[in-house]
Amino acid sequence: MTTTNTPIITVQQHILEEQKRFPGSSGEFSSLLSAITMGTKMIQAKVRRAGLSDILGEHGDVNVQGEIQQKLDVYSNDILSHFLSLRDSVGVLVSEENEKPIIVHNNLENANYAIVFDPLDGSSNIDVNVSVGTTFSILRRPEGVGMNDAEQWALQPGNKQIAAGYVVYGSSTILVYSVGNGVHGFTLDPSLGAYILSHPNMRMPEQGKYYSVNEAYRDSFPPGYTEYIDRLRKGFLGHKYASRYIGSMVADFHRTLLKGGVFLYPPTESNPDGKLRLLYEANPVAFLAEQAGGMALDGTGRVLDIQPVSIHQRCPLVVGSRVEMEDFEQVMVEAGSTPKSDSF
Ligand code: P6P
C-alpha cells in the first residue's frame, strides 16, 4: 500500500506501456526516450546551477544559426548527442547546434531512427533566469534511404513523426511527450532523480484566455495577422484575452497547452519565413498540439504537412486551441493568405 492512492508512475514505466503499442518493437523505442530523459536530467542540473558555476555568459563561438553560443547550449548539445549516440537504434542526429547531420551508426542494420532536437531552446534567456527548454522529434528512416543521404532521414513532414516532446526547465522540470497516443507530462522529482507522471492525457482547452506574440514586430506582420491580433485584443467569442509572452517557445507553448489560447511567431521583416525552425521547434509542438486536441498552422496550412527542404529551415508558427485556431484560419482565408480548406 503506497502512502497515496495515486499510482506513482515513472516515465520509464509509462514508455514501456506505450512501447506495447508498437508491435514487434524490441524496446529500442524506450531506449531512445530513456537517452533523452537521462540527458535532460543532466541538463537541468546545470541549468539549476547556472548562476553558480561561471557557466553563464557566452561561450564565444558562433553556431550555425549565426547566434553567439551560450555555454549551456554547448553543454546541452554535447550531453544529448552523447546519450543518443549510445543507442544502437540511432542512425542520424540533427541538432540546432550542428550545421550538418551527425551520422552515429553507419554500419548497424537496426540504426533506423533519426533524432532531431534543439538542445536548449530560448538560450538567450539563460542569463536572466527565464525558463528554457529542450525539444525533440523522432523519425524513422525512410524506406530505401541509406547513410549516404543522412539529411533525407530528417527531411520528412511532421506528420511522419513517431514521437515528439519537450522538457521545460521552469519552476519545476517537466517532460511532455507523445507517441501518437495522447500527450503526457512528467515532473522531475529531484530527490528521486525520476520523472513522475503528473499530467496524464493532457488536453488543450477548447478556448483559452491568453494570446502570445512579440507585438514589437506588429508593423511587419503580413496581412491577416494584425487583424487577428486585434480581434484577440478586443475580445471575441464571448471573452477578453490577456497577453503573455515569455520569449522561450517551449515555455510559451507549455502554458498554451495547459491553459489554452494561442501562440504566434508570424513572418517578420527580419525573418520573412518566421524565426522558429520547422524540424525541431514547430514540428514537435505541432505534433503535441494536435495530439492534445489543438491545431498548428503556418498561415497557409497545417504545419505537420510542410515538406522540409533543408534541416534548419524556418517557418511561421501559430499554435493553440481549436476555437482560436479556427478563427485564425478564417481570418487568413479572408485576408487571402490561406487557401480555403475544408479540412478544419
Ligand atoms: P523574439 C528563443 O531565442 C527563440 O528561438 C524561441 O524560443 C522564442 O519563441 C523566440 O526565439 C523569441 O524570439 O524575436 O520574440 O525574441
The string of pLDDT tens digits covering residues 180-230 is 999 999 999 999 999 999 999 999 999 999 999 999 999 999 989 999 999
Q: How far is the CA of 217 from the centre of ligand 1 (A)?
A: 12
Over range 39-58, report the average pLDDT: 79
- The CA 122 to ligand 1 mean position distance, Å, reads 6
How high is the pLDDT of residue 269? 94
Nearest residue CA, atom 10 of ligand 1?
A: 247
Our answer on whether the CB atom of 248 is closer than 6 Å to any ligand 1 atom is yes
* Span 117-143, average pLDDT: 93
> Ligand 1 pocket, 122 CB below 6 A?
yes
Ligand 1 atom closest to residue 133's alpha carbon, by position in its atom list: 7
Tell how strand 210-212 and strand 194-202 pair up: unpaired
Report the nearest-CA residue for atom 3 of ligand 1: 122
User: Measured at the alpha carbon of residue 63, what is the angle toward residues 175 and 155, in degrees to the nearest 5?
Assistant: 65
For ligand 1, atom 2, the nearest C-alpha belongs to 122
CATH domain 210-334 topology = D-Maltodextrin-Binding Protein; domain 2 (3.40.190)
Range list for CATH 3.40.190.80 in the chain: 210-334
Report the pLDDT value the prediction gives residue 29, as an integer from 0 to 100.
77
* For ligand 1, atom 12: residue with the closest CA: 247
Q: H or E segment at 283?
A: helix 283-291
Helix 225-234 to helix 322-334 angle (10° resolution) is 130
* E-state strands within the chain: 58-62, 68-70, 90-95, 102-103, 113-121, 132-140, 163-169, 173-178, 183-189, 194-202, 210-212, 242-243, 262-265, 295-297, 317-320
CATH annotation of 11-201: 3.30.540.10
Kindly list the strands in the beta sheet with 113-121, ordered across the sheet, starting from the edge strand earlier in the chain: 102-103, 90-95, 113-121, 132-140, 163-169, 173-178, 183-189, 194-202
Whether 57 has a pLDDT exceeding 80, the answer reads no
C-alpha cell at 58: 557566452
Q: Above 60 in pLDDT, residue 239?
A: yes
- Domain(s) of CATH 3.30.540.10: residues in the chain: 11-201
Protein residue whose Cα sits closest to atom 14 of ligand 1: 214
